[in-house]
Amino acid sequence: MHIAYKFRIYPNPEQQILITKTLGACRFIWNQMLSDKIAHYESTKEMLYNTPARYKEAFSFLNEVDSLALANRQLHLERAFKSFFSKQTSFPNFQARKKDYGYTTNIVNGNIKVLDGFIKLPKLGLVKLKKHRHIPEDYKLRSVTVSKSKTGKYYISILLDYETVISPCEVKTTIGLDFDMTNFYVDSEGNRYAYPESILLDQQKLRRLQSSLSRRYQPNKKQKDQSKNYFKQQHKVAILHERITNKRLDFLHKLSDSIAKTSDSVSIETLDLKQMATSNKHYAKQISRFGWYKFITLLEYKLNRLGKTLVKIDKWYPSSKMCSRCGHLKTELKLSERIYSCEHCRQNMDRDYNAAVNIRNKGLELLKVENLA
């Protein structure tokens, strides 16, 4: 199994320059190799296997940066190009400076070491590190990704390998979750889990800032005086965006942690985002705004770590249209109908609660566990 830990780092000015240079070199090598690959493909219809070494003589600045970072970018490009090759879609994209997200380096002969308050990285040397969580001694370091956020903060993400024996957990408690547009989800006990108000308010504020920014005249860099406010506003948007991302991830981590600890099995409905994006835009937007997919990924990973299962229910399963009490199936249920009232057994139940119970029951059926309260 592997796990990634993210820490903030505080490179000194020289190290900051080298990080920027490395990011630039990675982008450069990607773009150079890609354009050569495309040219080769267009004349021969074959794939060109080129390596960064080929470019180092002509572009000597490539020698100044971590060669493993360049090698990783090459592997990444190769994968992207191969997928273009097999699927015959469009070529991989050229990389732009504003999308510099980070570079990855690997451990070779002790070139990377996590020390007390520092991390030793290739070419950079010792970089100050804020280690807010402990890394167990038996975890093996595999690679490190160095990144710079849009607001100018630096981070590392450390990928670690660890060995573990997980014994399957006996299923005693189970729960079904149904995505809810206004809250976050409704569970099969009838509880509504509300999304944190502060994140929703921040998101509203971000939308306001973004739309006011897009309405503004976009200055070019020569018009320094006029553009001051524009770039100030742009920076504000980036800071808020980062804050929302962090807060949301923190919330999703805590919530998935607590569900994984208290339930032995969780059932959830898979939603078809692509189809929804055309049929119900508002719904699809809310799913991505809430980070529902990230939540499912975290939840599954945390359950598996404890020997537990996340049961994914097929999107065609009629969780909303079926009565959770008698199994009667409605032919139609409008989105506006918030109460499920069964023509057959006369049960009236909150629509999402009813769906969550169905999801739980279907999950149990799939797990072949019976007689659970």
By CB under 5 A, is residue 321 in contact with Zn ion?
Answer: no
Contacts of 93 (CB under 8 A, 6+ apart): none
**Smallest separation (angstroms) from Zn ion to the CB of 327:** 7
Window contacting Zn ion (CB under 5 A); options: 5-13, 20-28, 250-258, 347-355: 347-355
Distances, alpha carbon 77 to alpha carbons 23, 92, 179, 258, 356, in Å: 15, 8, 37, 39, 43
- Choosing from 273, 326, 329, 339, the residue that interacts with Zn ion (CB under 5 A) is 326
* Residue 339 beta carbon to Zn ion: minimum distance, rounded to whole angstroms: 13
| In the complex, least distance from residue 342 CB atom to Zn ion, rounded to whole angstroms | 3
**Segment contacting Zn ion by CB under 5 A, of 39-47, 133-141, 301-309, 316-324:** 316-324
Q: Which is nearer to Zn ion, 22 or 188 (CB)?
A: 188
For residue 158, give every residue at least 6 positions away whose Cβ sits within 8 Å of its Cβ, in sequence order, or none. 4, 5, 6, 7, 114, 135, 141, 143, 144
Binding to Zn ion in span 232-251, by CB under 5 A: none
Percentage helix, strand, coil for the chain under 3-state DSSP, each rounded to 5: 45, 20, 35
Minimum distance from residue 328 beta carbon to Zn ion (Å): 4
Does position 342 bind Zn ion by CB under 5 A?
Answer: yes
Q: Please report whether residue 323 would count as binding Zn ion according to CB under 5 A.
A: yes
User: Is 46 one of the catalytic residues?
Assistant: no
Quick count: other Cβ atoms within 10 Å of Cβ 185? 22
Q: Is 370 a catalytic residue?
A: no
Closer to Zn ion by Cβ: residue 53 or 339: 339
Residue 317 has φ and ψ, to the nearest 5°, of: -65, 125
Does position 345 interact with Zn ion (CB under 5 A)? The reply is: yes
Q: Which of 178, 180, 264, 300 does the annotation list as catalytic?
A: 178
| Contact flags string 270-309 toward Zn ion, x per CB under 5 A | ----------------------------------------
Minimum CB distance to Zn ion, residue 359 (Å):
17
How far separated are the first and last CA of the chain, in Å rounded?
Answer: 34
Is residue 350 part of the annotated active site? The answer reads no
Q: Distance between CA 355 and CA 271 in Å, rounded?
A: 14
State the residue for tokens 């502060």.
Answer: 198
Amino acid at 167: S
Residue-wise over 164-184: b if at least 16 C-beta within 10 A, else e? eeeeeeebeebbbbbbbeeeb
Give me the residues that bind Zn ion (CB under 5 A), please: 323, 325-326, 328, 342, 344-345, 347
Tell me which residues are annotated as active site.
Answer: 178, 269, 352
